[in-house]
Chains A and B, each alone.
Chain A
Amino acid sequence: MATTEEIRAQLAELVNDVAGVPVEDVQLDKSFVDDLDVDSLAMVEIIVGCEEKFGVTIPDEDSKNLKTVGDAVAYIEAHS
């Protein structure tokens, strides 16, 4: 089982790959939209990337609630 920090680090790589955000900026308290400037279409790519990377399924009704990096990491920990 990956630790919270390991999941955050992998997610940071994904966010960097999709949206060019520096990995060190992708911290648990950051909002994807407000802090990291990730737009709605890039967010879709990040969600799908999480599904591939972490082997989880994130339905559209759940993905809407993943506002911060911490939300996403918690969701992955709970569902993988």
Chain B
Amino acid sequence: MTDIVITGIGATTPLGGDAPSTWAGLLAGQSGVSRITEEWAEELPVKIAAYVKVDPSEVIDRVRARRLDRSTQLALIAAQEAWQDAGLTWDKENEVDPYRLIVSLASGIGGLHSLLNNWDAHRDKGYRRVSPFTIPMLMANAPAANVGMAISAKAGVHTPVSACASSNEAIALALDQLRLGRADIALVGGTEATIHPLPIAAFGQMQALSRRNDDPQGASRPWDRGRDGFVMGEGSAVLVIETLEHAKARGVTTIYGTLAGAGITADSHDIVQPDPTGAGQYGAMNKALVDAGLAASDIRHVNAHGTSTPQGDLTEAGSIRHGLGEAVDGCVVTSTKSMTGHLLGGAGALETLATVLALRDRRVPPTINLEDPEPDLGIDIAANVARDLPEGDLAAINNSFGFGGANVAVAVTNANVTG
């Protein structure tokens, strides 16, 4: 089977406006969480979130931004960086064959700000104040479609939606498309921008969000006994993947790693709670291993879903133990959500990106705020400081799980594909 390699990366996140600054922040154990300064938070029990460090208004011009939901703006910024990082030119047609180029870029929730701001306008001032751009701004495939137009992708523009597993599913979908020979190159990733009173209130009503309002940077604390929910983050991460043949043919010099496989399962258990047996979660990990042709003992690192919820973290620790068996002892686990918060539909892509860079640099970013770990987790967590990985061939898994019972594990290996 043809190798699918990663040749470009881009991101705009709570830790930085691009992939290098995000990665530096992750390795340094920085938190991107802060108090919500907008007035609406005063009435809510949750007053913290992880905003992007560089607001998109600093990057995208005002007139253009008026027609794009914040989630699409973030996706365009990350996509442009990834595309250029892969040695390609943004807004230029036919640099690669457009009929062999796909976009698979997800959002878990879609253009939420556009939907709700226009509803506010409609309710308060009448239908004439509803923007004619509302629908193309709020639709879930708007980020993928706008990115696809920028790079002239004509072999398909996809937006799989599976809540917080969405962007890992987008990566898995594109991997299959390339393996099936339906395209040579793909721009994959995810985006989310949902720091708005409605989702903060709604997730808050579910008791899913941390209320550690007086200690924002300590609020996301996966596997710590003091954890009390996730912190909502926003941002986007994008990768360029292509067949090794295509990369070689166009003279690519930087290969970050290989997208080795993916595994998808569905819990079919509960609309929000994970199956407590973890069967769907470790099932996805096992399928990713089989798909990648890897053994559990090859996996030296897992970037966990690790959202910092009381039950979710425990279930996943069990799933990782079960999925890797005895090999769990040689595997360094982390949750970068301890620093970025939870990017929902953008999480899988950001964490796959972090996993790829961890293998490249042989260094796993820490899980910060892990001061009082749950006992008997049975997984080796990179607690509070970054950890080194050994020399030689490395493989890793990134887990993403979503409401609705979606589980998607993505397997990557470091770049020993020069032949």
Give min CB distance, A52 to chain B, whole Å.
8
* B63–A45 touching, CB < 8 Å: no
* A51–B128 touching, CB < 8 Å: yes
Give min CB distance, A73 to chain B, whole Å.
20
Tell yes or no: B269 within 8 A of A by CB.
no
Tell yes or no: B129 within 8 A of A by CB.
yes
Q: How far is the CA of A19 from the CA of B62 in the complex (A)?
A: 10
Tell yes or no: A1 within 8 A of B by CB.
no
Most buried by A among B64, B66, B129: B66
* B63–A20 touching, CB < 8 Å: yes
Please give the number of chain A residues whose Cβ is less than 8 angstroms from any Cβ of chain B in the complex. Answer: 9
Residues of B within 8 A of A19 (CB): 63
Q: Count A/B pairs, Cβ under 8 Å.
A: 17
Tell yes or no: A44 within 8 A of B by CB.
yes
Q: How far is the CA of A20 from the CA of B63 in the complex (A)?
A: 6
In chain B between 127 and 142, which residues have their CB closer than 8 angstroms to a CB of chain A?
A: 128-129, 131-133
Give the contacting residue for B132; candidates A17, A20, A41; CB below 8 A.
Answer: A41
* B133–A48 touching, CB < 8 Å: no
* A48–B63 touching, CB < 8 Å: no
Residues of B within 8 A of A9 (CB): none
In chain A between 48 and 69, which residues have their CB closer than 8 angstroms to a CB of chain B?
A: 48, 51
Residues of A within 8 A of B61 (CB): 20
In chain A between 27 and 80, which residues have their CB closer than 8 angstroms to a CB of chain B?
A: 41, 44-45, 48, 51
Tell yes or no: A23 within 8 A of B by CB.
no
Residues of B within 8 A of A45 (CB): 131-133
Seen from chain B, the residues whose Cβ lies within 8 Å of a Cβ on chain A are 61-64, 66, 128-129, 131-133
A to B CB contacts below 8 Å, 17 in the list: A17-B63, A18-B63, A18-B66, A19-B63, A20-B61, A20-B62, A20-B63, A20-B64, A41-B132, A41-B133, A44-B132, A45-B131, A45-B132, A45-B133, A48-B128, A48-B129, A51-B128
